Amino acid sequence: MIQRREEAALLLGPNAEVSALRSGMNLVLLGAPGAGKGTQAKRLADRLGLLHLSTGDLFRAHLSQGTELGKTARRYMEAGELVPDDVTLAMVFDRLSAPEAAQGFVLDGFPRNLAQAEAFEREMAARGQRLDLAVLLAVADSVLVERLTGRRTCPQCQATYHLVFSPPAHDELCDRCGVPLVQRPDDRPETVMRRLEVYHAETAPLIAYYRRRGILREVNGEASPEAVTEALLGLVEGVAGD
Ligand code: AMP
């Protein structure tokens, strides 16, 4: 990594060093639904020039385009269950084959269980790559329920709001587009409880999995979004400097 940093500085000059030295960095954000993975993954991807890969967003795009994959995913998503691993893995591996993924990536919502994590690790090894860092955004369940059930999205520009923590200026209308905000069907209270159960049973074991591999770090996901971003950037900096 240090050698790469020096090479980057020589080639690109000091100002370009930061983004260049981080290229090739592969991260996963872990945490329950509502922990802030989506918001933080977007910010990290923008700041570090990485590909943001959200399996939830990919499934929702398939859903709105009415593809076969979207039709398969819908019934699992609406019930708060995981989409079957073979479907999910094929979609993720395909996306990671895109040229943008060569710059490094931030995974958000994947892997979601041990089978996915193991299959992902094998695939990465076959491609001569590896994960550099897994960060858990730690948030208490009571906070998650409040965050998820108040979450609203603009159906046009996908901007996200929260009715209590970051409400739109007028009624439930998007500040940018003026269209009524919508609630994700799986953010309704019944489904939220099931998603949290699935998280604890299926996804939480990944914390120990990545800890054993020595790449797990933790950030307090209840801090302000800005503080969480700074903490994440600090962790990336630490790994990039290794
Ligand atoms: P999210 O936006 O990450 O909360 O994901 C929304 C829904 O998409 C989840 O509740 C699952 O039904 C499905 N989903 C997202 N990521 C995965 C994954 N890695 N494996 C299986 N299902 C997933």
Q: To test the ligand 1 pocket, which listed residue (29, 57, 77, 148) has its Cβ within 8 A of the most ligand atoms?
A: 77
Q: Which atom of ligand 1 is nearest to the CA of 109?
A: 3
Q: Which atom, in ligand 1's list, is nearest to the CA of 57?
A: 2
pLDDT of 24: 76
- Ligand 1 atom nearest to 81, measured from its CA: 12
Q: What is the pLDDT averaged over residues 227-238? A: 95
The neighbouring-strand residues paired with 51 are: 105
Q: For domain 2-139+205-240, is the CATH number 3.40.50.300?
A: yes
Ligand 1 pocket by Cβ (under 6 Å): 33, 55-56, 59, 76-77, 80-83, 88, 109-110, 112, 116, 186, 195
- Calculate the alpha carbon distances from 226 to 7, 44, 150, 221, 233 in Å: 31, 11, 20, 11, 11
Counting residues of the chain whose pLDDT is more than 70, the rounded percentage is 90
What per-residue confidence (pLDDT) applies to 240? 82
- Residue 27: pLDDT over 90: yes
Report the candidate in 34, 52, 116, 37 with the shortest Cα–Cα distance to residue 82: 116
* Whole-model pTM over 0.75: yes
**Residues with catalytic annotation?**
37, 112, 151, 184, 195
Q: What is the mean pLDDT of residues 139-164?
A: 94
Instruction: Render pLDDT for 89-129 as a digit per residue (tens, 0 to 9).
Output: 999 999 999 998 988 999 999 999 999 999 999 999 999 99
In this predicted structure, the answer to whether residue 12 has a pLDDT above a threshold of 70 is no
Instruction: Report which protein residue has its CA nearest ligand 1's atom 1.
Output: 56
Is residue 18 over pLDDT 50?
A: no
Query: What distance in angstroms lies between residue 24's CA and the mean position of ligand 1's atoms?
Result: 25
Q: How far is CA 126 from the centre of its chain?
A: 23
pLDDT digits (tens, 9 = 90+) for 165-223: 999 999 999 999 999 999 999 999 989 999 999 999 999 999 999 999 999 999 999 99
- In tens, the pLDDT along 43-60 reads 999 999 999 999 999 999
Cα(83) to ligand 1 centroid in Å equals 7
Distance 199 CA to ligand 1 centre (A): 10
Ligand 1 atom showing the smallest separation from residue 111 Cα: 19
Q: Which residues contact 172 (CB under 8 A, 6 or more apart)?
A: 152, 163, 180, 181
